[in-house]
Amino acid sequence: MSGSVVWVVSPKETSRRSSGFNQFAGVKRRCWRSSSAGWSCARSASTARRSVSASLVVTPPPRSSEELVYDVVLRQAALVGEARRKRAVEAPPAPLRGDLLDAAYERCGEVCAEYAKTFYLGTMLMTPERRRAIWAIYVWCRRTDELVDGPNASHITPTALDRWSNRLEDLFAGRPYDMYDAALSDTVSKFPVDMQPFKDMTEGMRMDLRKSRYNNFDELYLYCYYVAGTVGLMSVPVMGIAPDSKASTASVYSAALALGIANQLTNILRDVGEDSRRGRVYLPQDELAQAGLSDDDVLEGRVTGKWRTFMKGQITRARMFFDEAEKGIYELNSASRWPVLASLLLYRQILDAIEANDYNNFTKRAYVGKAKKLASLPLAYAKALIVGPSKFAGTLLQF
Amino acid sequence: MAAAAATTVVALLSPFHPPPGSSRQTSKPIVVFTSLHAWRSLPPLRRLVASPRFGIVHCSSSGDNSSAASDNSGFCIIEGPETLQDFVQMQLQEIQDNIRSRRNKIFLLMEEVRRLRIQQRIKSAECSGDSCEDNEMPDIPSTIPFLPHMTPKTLRQLYLTSFSFAFGIIVFGGLLAPTLELKLGLGGTSYEDFIRNMHLPLQLSQVDPIVASFSGGAVGVISALMLLEANNVEQQEKKRCKYCHGTGYLVCARCSASGVFLSIESISIPDGCSGPLQPPTTQRCTNCSGTGKVMCPTCLCTGMAMASEHDPRIDPFD
């Protein structure tokens, strides 16, 4: 399920961005990369590489997004073990004074409650320590998003993003700049969170300033990774893996990644109309072409038989990612399974709502009612309680 | 005279001293907005070009190097640990001159914006016939809960409605109710009987009508004012930056809001030597320059959720 592409970065085009937060930091970004190889199902990269070597402009070897992202997952998983050993040796970072730190976490919670009410309610299902940590991560992601997409975004230069990146590095080294940085710094000192997903998210923001369309699913996958998959990777160390789980760390991270991707795909499928009215199409162009549709059909916004078929395929793929993610949730710490499962169930219902709207995501908003949302909670609780971690290693994902 | 003015302004505009360590004095003025016709005599300096269509700001230099590395010396709106060091080498008089020249520029630029807006209004009225909605005019939110936004027209309607309501109630209470023998109790029972039936303290039935109406009116007014104020606070809060709660600043993490931090070099942890420990010295926090707070990057020290050029930047000393 991988394709080989050549990355040709074309920075000349910039366009106004708009974003929406879905799961807590699933921000819409635009990545522009034109690929000269189309969607291919061949796993071997070598043959494809030879055929595109002539048009190779950027020197890194062409690999699919999924492979690149999986590398990040492996690295993160490897770091978890390393971090545990390292933390015993390293001196603790200079913290914010105790009561100020608590106040900082309180403020993180307030910001989260203000901007993401359902998500905030979801965090209430977690243990207090984890809740605070997730809030701190949320606030960092939100602030980064507001830098490039908020009301004052027109004053942000690439230098500003560099400075923001430097602040990120500093806070990981125990030198936070302000109180919200201090909360995140405390979180990363208590949980083995890696810096790479944060950097990737900033990179996604940087790239987002020059984007328009996605040629194939590979590009879309990378985009979804940058804005939503990173969030999954950030939160797994906080949620914790069950000690009696036999599944590999990498597979749990992959599942978290899948959940992020699934959430972002759901977001995209729900907001097709809204995005198209802003001139943005987040659907892979080649798949649209295969279904006999074009960009103009999307921008026009008419629901036809072809559109329904196309949407059915897209929804099936999103559901597949949800299923992949669900397997990994049972490997998490027992206290964390309920909130994560609840959010998965809630978000998956949006896909059902799209189907119920007869695939009209142009004018109708796929909405899950409060009653349905509340009903998912006991269901998630029951599932979290009954299903436990897998007893056999390697039963999760085959990659 | 124009040349003299230009050189004075240029002299005032060379604030950015090179970072410590570099000996060469380069005049790299910052943030000169492109002015249309006001200062044509000014030589083209490093310009900050705002491109609203793209939503990002490019730091471009018209002079020597236009590589991406030039961005490092460009102005950057958010703070970092080394921001406030940029101006540390300037003398007090120099700083005051810089502040004064920049405030002058802001003043003149606002006037230019005003003139441009007039032109914009004229031109857009020509193009589109009917006058387009000027969305710069602030929408007056209503302080009465649940009411839509107010305009001078709806204000008249509000006056009419309120006066007629008040008059109607006075007429009803004073004239109609006694005629209809409207009683509190069901089935025409008197007030006293009602009090007795409800087992309330009997002195309630002895309340003088004037006192009763005064109390009722006062309670009404007080609760109305309270609701209005609560609604107003809610409206203002919506405009407040949620991250800094309108203060424009966040607590500095380096010094934990105290303004100073312990200098680590003076604390030595001896591995076996018996020398006395040096008392730790405190030095002014470099992050916040001793104020204990740093800029809120979301509202850029304005305290408002949507910062505009009209919003003053809050000083950290307040």
Pick the more confident residue, A84 or B17.
A84
- List the single best residue of B48, B53, B256 to mutate versus A (max A Cβ within 10 A): B256
Pick the more confident residue, A149 or B1.
A149
Q: How far apart are alpha carbons A63 and A357 in whole angstroms?
A: 38
Residue type, A273: G
**Token couple for A13:** 């085009």
Assess contact for A42 and A87: CB atoms under 8 A.
no
Residue type, B263: S
**Token couple for B11:** 């002299």
Chain A residues with CB-CB distance to B282 below 8 A: none
| Residue whose structure tokens are 């397997």 | A327
Helices and strands, counts by H and E, chain A: 17, 0
Distance between B109 CA and the closest CA of chain A, angstroms: 17
Non-local (6+) Cβ contacts of B41 within 8 A are B2, B3, B5, B6
Average pLDDT, chain A: 79
Assess contact for B311 and B302: CB atoms under 8 A.
yes
**B191 pLDDT exceeds 90?**
no
Element (H, E) at A327: helix A305-329
| Contacts within 8 Å (CB) and 24+ apart, A69-72 | A69/A221, A69/A222, A69/A225, A69/A229, A69/A257, A70/A254, A70/A399, A72/A196, A72/A197, A72/A200, A72/A233
Pick the more confident residue, B96 or B276.
B96
Q: How far apart are alpha carbons A292 and A289 in whole angstroms?
A: 5
- Across the interface, of B77, B256, B298, the residue whose CB is closest to A96 is B256
**Token couple for A106:** 């309180």
Instruction: Please report, for residues A67, B13, B33, B289, the alpha-carbon distance to residue B96 in angstroms, rounded to integers and kept in the order given.
Output: 57, 12, 20, 18
- Give the best-scoring range by mean pLDDT among A115-119, A284-288, B148-152: A284-288
Predicted local distance difference test score (pLDDT) of residue A287: 92
Pick the more confident residue, A200 or B37.
A200
Element (H, E) at B97: helix B92-128
**Token couple for B275:** 């020398």
Predicted local distance difference test score (pLDDT) of residue B198: 83
**B277 pLDDT exceeds 70?**
no
Residue type, A283: L
| Residue whose structure tokens are 């204000």 | B155
**Token couple for A245:** 């789980």
DSSP state of B150: B
A→B interface, C-beta within 8 Å = 14-17, 94, 96-97, 100, 103-104, 107, 110-111, 114-115, 143, 146-147, 150-160, 162-164, 166-167, 170, 175-182, 185, 209
Identify the band that residue A113 occupies on the pLDDT scale cut at 50, 70 and 90: very high
Radius of gyration of chain B (CA): 33
**In terms of residues, how long is chain A?**
399
Distance between A315 CA and the closest CA of chain B, angstroms: 33
Q: How far apart are alpha carbons B121 and A313 in whole angstroms?
A: 50
Answer whether B81 sits within 8 Å of A100, measured CB to CB: no
Q: What is the DSSP string of A42-111?
A: ---HHHHHHHHGGG--S-SPP--HHHHHHHHHHHHHHHHHHHHHHHHHSPPP-PPPHHHHHHHHHHHHHH
Residue type, A354: I
How many angstroms from the chain centroid is the CA of residue B105? 21
B225 torsion bin: left (phi>0), alpha (psi -120 to 50), beta (else)? alpha
**B23 pLDDT exceeds 50?**
no
In percent, the amount of chain B with pLDDT more than 70 equals: 64
Predicted local distance difference test score (pLDDT) of residue B87: 73
Radius of gyration of chain A (CA): 21
| Other CB atoms within 10 A of residue A267 CB | 24
Residue type, B196: R
Cα–Cα nearest to A145, from B51, B58, B244, B298: B298
Predicted local distance difference test score (pLDDT) of residue A262: 95
Predicted local distance difference test score (pLDDT) of residue B139: 61
**A112 pLDDT exceeds 90?**
yes
Q: How far apart are alpha carbons A370 and A244 in whole angstroms?
A: 36
> Mind listing the pLDDT tens digit for each residue in B125-170?
777 655 444 444 456 667 676 777 777 778 888 889 999 999 999 8
**In terms of residues, how long is chain B?**
318
Predicted local distance difference test score (pLDDT) of residue B155: 82
Q: How far apart are alpha carbons A319 and A322 in whole angstroms?
A: 5
Predicted local distance difference test score (pLDDT) of residue A37: 33
Chain B residues with CB-CB distance to A153 below 8 A: 55-56
DSSP 3-state assignment of B49? Answer: strand
Non-local (6+) Cβ contacts of B47 within 8 A are B32, B33, B34, B60, B61, B62
* Backbone phi and psi for residue A348, each to the nearest 5 degrees, phi listed first: -65, -30
Q: How far apart are alpha carbons B83 and B88 in whole angstroms?
A: 10
- Across the interface, of B59, B256, B300, the residue whose CB is closest to A97 is B256
**B28 pLDDT exceeds 90?**
no
Using CA coordinates, name the residue in chain B closest to A167. B80
In percent, the amount of chain B with pLDDT more than 90 equals: 13
Non-local (6+) Cβ contacts of A352 within 8 A are none
HSE value, Cβ hemisphere, 13 Å, CA-based, for A181 = 31
Answer whether A143 sits within 8 Å of B305, measured CB to CB: no
Pick the more confident residue, A48 or B212.
B212
B280 torsion bin: left (phi>0), alpha (psi -120 to 50), beta (else)? beta
Note the pTM of the prediction, 2 decimals: 0.69
> Mind listing the pLDDT tens digit for each residue in A119-172?
888 899 899 999 999 999 999 999 998 888 777 777 788 888 889 999 999 999
**Token couple for A96:** 């914010």
Q: What is the DSSP string of B246-263?
A: TSSEEEBTTTTTSSEEE-
- Across the interface, of B59, B80, B305, the residue whose CB is closest to A151 is B305
Identify the band that residue B278 occupies on the pLDDT scale cut at 50, 70 and 90: low
Answer whether B57 sits within 8 Å of A154, measured CB to CB: yes
**A323 pLDDT exceeds 90?**
yes
Pick the more confident residue, A14 or A208.
A208
Answer whether B71 sits within 8 Å of A157, measured CB to CB: yes
> Mind listing the pLDDT tens digit for each residue in A38-94?
333 333 444 444 445 445 555 656 678 888 888 888 888 887 766 655 554 454 555
**A7 pLDDT exceeds 70?**
no
* β-strand pairing of B56-60 with B47-51: antiparallel
Q: How far apart are alpha carbons A376 and A381 in whole angstroms?
A: 9
Q: How far apart are alpha carbons A255 and A248 in whole angstroms?
A: 11
Cα–Cα nearest to A240, from A365, A133, A157, A346: A133
**B49 pLDDT exceeds 70?**
no
Predicted local distance difference test score (pLDDT) of residue A318: 95
* Backbone phi and psi for residue B131, each to the nearest 5 degrees, phi listed first: -75, 130
> Mind listing the pLDDT tens digit for each residue in A248-281?
888 999 999 999 999 999 999 998 988 888 778 8
Distance between B255 CA and the closest CA of chain A, angstroms: 8
Assess contact for A205 and A19: CB atoms under 8 A.
no
Answer whether B251 sits within 8 Å of A163, measured CB to CB: no
**B275 pLDDT exceeds 80?**
no
End-to-end CA distance of chain A: 10
What's the angle, vertex CA A265, arms to CA A262 and CA A267, rounded to 5? 110
Of the given ranges (A63-72, A205-214, B268-277), which has the lowest mean pLDDT? Answer: B268-277
